[in-house]
């Protein structure tokens, strides 16, 4: 049995065939390596049927195919010879751990970025809620609005002036008492009419003053009306701004400040003025240019 095993032909790999063909062509292993663009150690390993661990079977078949074409051998015979020998199994790839490390590092970066975005959103939401709460608290702490009329009444207390008749009325009573107690009735009869005349004069004087004030107010009335939109500024003699800003078409107002009035009109062609009922001529001002004038001139 042992003799039969020893008599079995040894398996011949493609390396022996390639080496014999190279030697017949008179080529060295260095020349073959240069022509095939391979390392010299790879060519020596192919001829010895010894292949580097981890080398892919696809690369081995490609090297053998190119070597066979160089030395003129049949590729199929070499592939069959290659199948007859045992090739080293490729070692498992060792870069799986590095890939996992890279993947974990990438995942950790994305995780940190996600956490950062989430924390930013939470902080923004908290700031928004706090601003709403502070705004509501401020609105609750605001004092209640005070009636404007009440403030004016408190700052300017109304002084009630008794009627003129009530102030002067005791005079006739005292005089009537003096008439009854005196022994000269003729003098008392003469004094009574004078007192009545003084009462009439005292009551008529405030009425005349009121009429004079009313006449003075009417005498300083300025009326403005617009046929188109116009910007204007109107000030009285004291520098107080009575009208300011852009007014729309159809705007009409009557002003009763202290004359003279100072006016600036952005569109004088759209303005109609009257002072104390008398129209003010604006035809001398150019349309579309600011007009400056004083009323009365």
Q: What is the pLDDT of residues 35-46, one digit of tens each?
A: 989 899 888 988
Greater model confidence, 165 or 244 = 244
Any long-range contacts for 141-147 (C-beta under 8 Å, 24+ apart)? none
Which is more confidently placed, 7 or 272? 272
What is the C-alpha separation between 236 and 239, in angstroms, rounded? 5
Task: Note the pLDDT tens digit of each residue in 179-232.
Answer: 343 334 433 333 444 444 343 344 445 545 544 444 444 458 989 999 999 999
Residue 72 has pLDDT above 50, yes or no: yes
Residue 237 has pLDDT above 60, yes or no: yes
Position 6 pLDDT exceeds 50: no
Judge whether 251 and 229 are in contact, CB under 8 Å: no
**150 pLDDT more than 70:** no
> Mapping DSSP to helix (H, G, I), strand (E, B) and coil, where does residue 245 land?
strand
pLDDT reading at 123 higher than 90: yes
> Average pLDDT of 94-111?
73
Which of the two residues, 9 and 189, has the higher pLDDT score? Answer: 9
Cα gap 285→287, rounded to integer Å? 7
Compute the mean pLDDT over every residue in the chain, rounded to the nearest whole number: 73
| Cα distance between residue 217 and residue 259, in whole Å | 10
Query: 140 or 228: whose pLDDT is higher?
Result: 228
Q: Integer distance in angstroms from the first to the last C-alpha of the chain?
A: 147
Report the pLDDT value the prediction gives residue 127, as an integer from 0 to 100: 92
Q: Average of pLDDT values for 14-38?
A: 89
pLDDT level of residue 160 (50, 70, 90 thresholds): low
Q: With bands split at pLDDT 50, 70 and 90, how would you rate the model's confidence at 74?
A: confident
Average pLDDT of span 104-133: 90
Contacts by residues 292-297 (CB-CB < 8 Å, ≥ 24 positions apart): 292/262, 292/263, 292/264, 293/262, 293/263, 293/265, 294/260, 294/261, 294/262, 294/263, 295/222, 295/259, 295/260, 295/261, 295/263, 296/259, 296/260, 297/260
Model confidence at 280, in pLDDT bands (50, 70, 90)?
Answer: very high
């Amino acid at each position: 049995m042992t003799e039969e095993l020893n008599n079995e032909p040894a398996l011949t790999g493609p390396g022996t065939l390639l080496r014999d063909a190279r030697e017949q062509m008179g080529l060295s292993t260095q020349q073959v390596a240069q022509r095939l663009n391979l390392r010299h150690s790879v060519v020596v390993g192919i001829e010895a049927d010894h292949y580097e661990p981890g080398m892919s079977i696809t690369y081995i078949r490609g090297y053998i195919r190119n070597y066979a074409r160089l030395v003129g051998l049949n590729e199929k015979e070499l592939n069959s010879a290659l199948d007859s020998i045992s090739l080293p199994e490729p070692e498992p790839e060792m870069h799986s751990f590095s890939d996992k490390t890279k993947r974990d590092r990438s995942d950790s970066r994305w995780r940190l970025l996600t956490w950062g975005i989430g924390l930013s959103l939470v902080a923004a939401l908290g700031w928004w809620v706090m601003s709403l709460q502070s705004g509501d608290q401020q609105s609750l702490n605001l004092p209640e609005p005070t009636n404007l009329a009440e403030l004016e009444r408190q700052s300017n207390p109304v002084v009630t002036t008794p009627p003129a008749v009530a102030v002067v009325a005791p005079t006739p009573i005292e005089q009537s008492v003096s008439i009854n107690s005196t022994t000269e009735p003729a003098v008392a009869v003469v004094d009574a009419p004078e007192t009545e005349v003084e009462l009439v004069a005292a009551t008529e004087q405030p009425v005349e003053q009121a009429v004079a004030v009313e006449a003075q107010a009417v005498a300083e009335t300025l009326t403005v009306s617009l046929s188109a939109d116009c910007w204007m500024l109107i000030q009285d003699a004291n520098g107080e701004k009575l009208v300011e800003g852009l007014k729309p078409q159809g705007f009409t107002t009557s002003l009763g400040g202290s004359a003279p009035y100072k006016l600036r009109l952005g569109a004088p062609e759209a303005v109609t003025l009257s002072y104390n009922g008398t129209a003010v001529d604006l035809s001398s001002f150019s349309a579309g240019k600011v007009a400056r004038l004083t009323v009365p001139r």
